[in-house]
Amino acid sequence: MSKLRNTILALLAGFTASAACSHKNDTRENAENAAQAVRDKTTDLQDESKDLNDTAKDKSNDLADKSKDTVDDLKDDTKDVTKTAVATRDAVKEFEYQRMVRVQTLRAVHGIVASQPLLINAIAQSTPFVDADRAKIAEKVQLVQMRLDEAANLIQSLEGVDADHWEGRERETANAMNRLEDARDDAWDALENAKRIDRTSMR
């Protein structure tokens, strides 16, 4: 029984560590870079639109004298704003894609952790642990369940977050995932360190 349990623990630890590493690195960085690109492009678009409006106002005063030059300049300025608008649209699409990837990755890791309280309970129920340690395991598993709910709610809300608010909300979700993984590790440690009832002393 001990060898089987240790094998299960080792497999789960390796699988979860691999998934956790992925969700903490690539997808998080890609989503943040995409969000920053949206913020930058939006700022550029706002600045260029403002400049275009100012230019139009200034040049409208001498439109009669320099009508052709003025119209050509305004056309060029409008083209620049249009290009920036297209770039902003593309940046938004890229952010939405990276946000989707990030959320899916978080959900995958969350799903892996969510399957473990049942396994921990099953092992605990089938092993003759002393009452105090069994209670400790139950307490740790209950904390995992609380962290699962907390993280699930944050992941769900992350789906609709825009680029301007992404960094703070994603950090909050990442912190919740870290707390969840810590609680999961504590539960496994409690199981692994639990003392068994000495059956020989009861004979």
Tens-place pLDDT, residues 156-173: 999 999 988 999 999 999
What CA–CA distance (Å, rounded) separates 98 from 88?
15
Tens-place pLDDT, residues 72-121: 555 666 776 677 778 778 888 888 999 999 999 999 999 999 999 999 99
CB–CB of 160/100 below 8 Å?
Answer: no
The DSSP string of 129-192 is B-HHHHHHHHHHHHHHHHHHHHHHHHHHHHTT--HHHHHHHHHHHHHHHHHHHHHHHHHHHHHH
93's enclosing H/E stretch is helix 67-114
pLDDT higher at 39 or 62: 39
**The model's pTM:** 0.69
